[in-house]
Amino acid sequence: MRVSFTLLLLLLHLFLLLITVPGVNSQASENNPFIWQVVVQYDIARSNHSQKYLPDTSFKLYSQDFQTVNLHDDLYGHNQRLLLDFGDGCPQTTIEDIQTLNGNTATSPSMMSQPSIALVERGGRCNLWSDKINHTQAISKIYNLNIGAVLLYDNMIYNGSSSNGSSSASAEGLVQLNTNNGSYPTWSTHSLEPPSRNIHSMTDNDISNSNGSQNSDSVFMAIYFGSNHYGRVLKDMVHKYTSTPSNSMHQYYIQLTFFFAETTFTTTENQPNGSGGENGNGNNDNSDMWTVFTGERGYLAYLIAAGAALIL
Ligand SMILES: *[C@@H]1O[C@H](CO)[C@@H](O)[C@H](O)[C@H]1NC(C)=O
Ligand SMILES: *[C@@H]1O[C@H](CO)[C@@H](O)[C@H](O)[C@H]1NC(C)=O
Ligand SMILES: *[C@@H]1O[C@H](CO)[C@@H](O)[C@H](O)[C@H]1NC(C)=O
Ligand SMILES: *[C@@H]1O[C@H](CO)[C@@H](O)[C@H](O)[C@H]1NC(C)=O
Ligand SMILES: *[C@@H]1O[C@H](CO)[C@@H](O)[C@H](O)[C@H]1NC(C)=O
Ligand SMILES: *[C@@H]1O[C@H](CO)[C@@H](O)[C@H](O)[C@H]1NC(C)=O
Ligand SMILES: *[C@@H]1O[C@H](CO)[C@@H](O)[C@H](O)[C@H]1NC(C)=O
Q: What does DSSP say about strands 59-63 and 34-43: parallel, antiparallel, or unpaired?
A: antiparallel
3-state secondary structure of 16: helix
| pTM of the model as a whole | 0.77
Q: Which residue has the CA at smallest separation from atom 3 of ligand 4?
A: 162
Q: How many angstroms is it from 129 CA to the middle of ligand 1?
A: 36
Q: How many angstroms is it from 185 CA to the middle of ligand 5?
A: 10
Q: How many angstroms is it from 293 CA to the middle of ligand 7?
A: 16
Ligand 5 within 6 A of 181 CB?
yes
- Residue 210, Cβ neighbours under 10 Å: how many? 12
Ligand 6 within 6 A of 201 CB?
yes
Q: What is the DSSP letter of 202?
A: -
Nearest-atom index, ligand 6, CA of 206: 14
Q: How many angstroms is it from 181 CA to the middle of ligand 5?
A: 6
- Looking at all shown ligands, the one closest to residue 218's CA atom is 2
- Residue 168, Cβ neighbours under 10 Å: how many? 12
Residues with CB under 6 A from ligand 4: 162, 164, 166
Q: Which residue has the CA at smallest separation from atom 11 of ligand 5?
A: 181
Q: How many angstroms is it from 195 CA to the middle of ligand 3?
A: 15
Write out pLDDT tens, residues 57-108: 999 999 999 999 999 889 887 799 999 999 999 999 999 999 999 999 999 9
Q: How many angstroms is it from 159 CA to the middle of ligand 3?
A: 6
pLDDT band with cut points at 50, 70 and 90 for residue 25: very low
d(CA 199, CA 205): 7
d(CA 221, CA 254): 19
Signed CA dihedral, 114, 120, 125, 129: sign only: positive
Write out pLDDT tens, residues 100-141: 999 999 999 999 989 999 999 999 999 999 999 999 999 999
Ligand 5 within 6 A of 191 CB?
no
Q: How many angstroms is it from 273 CA to the middle of ligand 2?
A: 40
Q: Identify which has the larger pLDDT, 184 or 211.
A: 184
* The predicted structure's pLDDT at residue 81: 96
Q: Is the pLDDT of residue 297 over 50?
A: no
* The predicted structure's pLDDT at residue 169: 37
Ligand 7 within 6 A of 273 CB?
yes
Return the half-sphere exposure (C-beta side, CA atoms, 13 A cut-off) of residue 13: 17
Domains in the chain, start-ordered, CATH in brackets?
29-260 (3.50.30.30)
Cα end-to-end distance, the chain, whole Å: 16
Nearest-atom index, ligand 2, CA of 218: 4
Averaged pLDDT for residues 287-297: 55
Contact 259, 120 (CB under 8 A): no
Ligand 7 within 6 A of 291 CB?
no
Q: Which residue has the CA at smallest separation from atom 4 of ligand 7?
A: 276
3-state secondary structure of 67: strand
Q: Which residue has the CA at smallest separation from atom 10 of ligand 4?
A: 164
d(CA 149, CA 71): 9
Alpha-carbon torsion, ordered 282, 83, 149, 261, to 10 deg: 60
Q: Is the pLDDT of residue 286 over 50?
A: no
* The predicted structure's pLDDT at residue 3: 52
Ligand 7 within 6 A of 48 CB?
no
d(CA 173, CA 62): 8
* The predicted structure's pLDDT at residue 47: 86
Write out pLDDT tens, residues 193-249: 888 999 999 999 999 866 665 665 678 899 999 999 999 999 999 999 998 776 788
- Residue 250, Cβ neighbours under 10 Å: how many? 13
Q: Which residue has the CA at smallest separation from atom 3 of ligand 6?
A: 211
Q: Is the pLDDT of residue 259 over 50?
A: yes
Contact 33, 259 (CB under 8 A): yes
Averaged pLDDT for residues 245-260: 89
d(CA 76, CA 30): 12
